[in-house]
A = this chain, B = another copy of it.
Amino acid sequence: MRETVYVLGGGQTRFGELWGKSLSDLIREAVDSAITNTKILPTDIDMVIVGNMVGGETAEQAHLGTFASSLLPHHPPALRVEAACASGGLAVHTACAFLESGKAETILVIGAEKLTDVAGDIVTSALMHAGDSEKDLPSGLTFPSIFALTATAYMHRYGLKREDLSLVSACSHRAAVKNPYAQFRKEIPAATISKSPLVADPLRLLDCSPISDGAAAIILSMRKESPVHIAASQLANESLSLIDRESLTSFVSTRTAFQSALKEANWNRNDIDCIELHDCFSIASLLHLEDFGFAEEGQAIRLFRDGDTDASGSLPVNPSGGLKACGHPIGATGVKQILDCWKQLTSQAPNQVVNATHAMAHNLGGVGATCTVHLLESI
């Protein structure tokens, strides 16, 4: 980072099937909560950035930057950014650029999505617009089936068993019990996950992050009014379609963003005390941990088997409950991850990692086509 960007804090709605709340309601609630929690004057916000993917298709509302700016008395400059499920992380990354450019001093970053007001087939179609409309969509692929392809390739190559995959989701569900904002706050044994309904072989219902509504908001500022700052903000890409990839079991975007982030922050991998990563499907967590280099290829499952990934383990992964158990309101996820990292670094997390000073948020768009990595540090 050319300049130091501080995370002043934020707030979020509960994630879930929030049938009584519109997209506008969710944004209002998250913004109110962020302003209340950080005690910032609304007029000190000089820019608004919203991460959202399908507001037009599922909530009849595009132009969401301006919608959110309209909630503030002085209507500061505003924009919406989108990179599918990485829209939230992208909003944070874009905010860092605006802050570093000198165009803004304090930015309200919002991630929001409302998915449950329309039928499941409409949501599934809209989310598939994250893939390549010419290469992927005509084949009938959906995101569960795309990640099922990666899972099949991984299991074939490394001999992973169906029962192993369930350990990943079980870890997230175990963590979410304590998180009041999580969609599912119930421990689910691995055996139950393995027997849940088949979605796209080998992925079962409880391998998949759910369809969720929710919003999260954070305040980023050049003002040194927080012990937490962003040590690195990286965005990396790969081909949009899986068809053009060399590997089905590794995402170049994750590798690039992570290595660039370590370099930017001048950290090494082992400095990281806790990780919020993009577990949209159970298989994804294994791919990411190997792309980060925390495990050899085909070996990441050992981290779950040995309890390393629990909040009390040696490499806490998704102590919030992750996408799997917190829910995954697309554009909200990446912003909520930063909020969860901030909570860890200010000792306010529901599953507090002891003495956490270095945290990472990893957000993915499409099947690894876009990736953001943020490293946060407390002083």
Contact = CB atoms under 8 A, between A and B. Distances in A.
A56 interface: yes
A96 B101 CA distance: 8
A102 B3 CA distance: 10
Contact of A365 (B57, B59, B63, B252): B63
Which residue, A82, A93, A235, has most C-beta atoms of chain B within 10 A? Answer: A82
Interface stretch (A69-77, A149-157, A289-297): A69-77
Interface size grouping (class) on chain A: 35 or more
Contact of A22 (B61, B65, B134, B241): B134
A265 to B, nearest CB: 15
A72 to B, nearest CB: 10
A327 interface: no
B240 A66 contact: yes
A206 to B, nearest CB: 27
Interface string A43-83: 00000000001111101111111110110000111111111
B81 A237 contact: no
A366 B61 CA distance: 12
Nearest to A128: B60
A111 to B, nearest CB: 14
A223 interface: no
Interface of A: 2, 22-24, 53-57, 59-67, 69-70, 75-84, 90, 93-94, 96-103, 125-126, 128-134, 137, 235-241, 244, 252, 365-366, 369-370
Given A63-B240, A66-B369, 8 more contacts: A2-B101, A53-B56, A60-B128, A60-B137, A70-B241, A79-B235, A81-B81, A97-B97
22 contacts: A2-B102, A24-B134, A55-B129, A59-B133, A60-B128, A60-B129, A62-B84, A62-B130, A63-B130, A63-B240, A65-B82, A66-B83, A66-B240, A70-B237, A70-B239, A70-B240, A75-B237, A76-B237, A77-B236, A97-B101, A97-B103, A101-B101
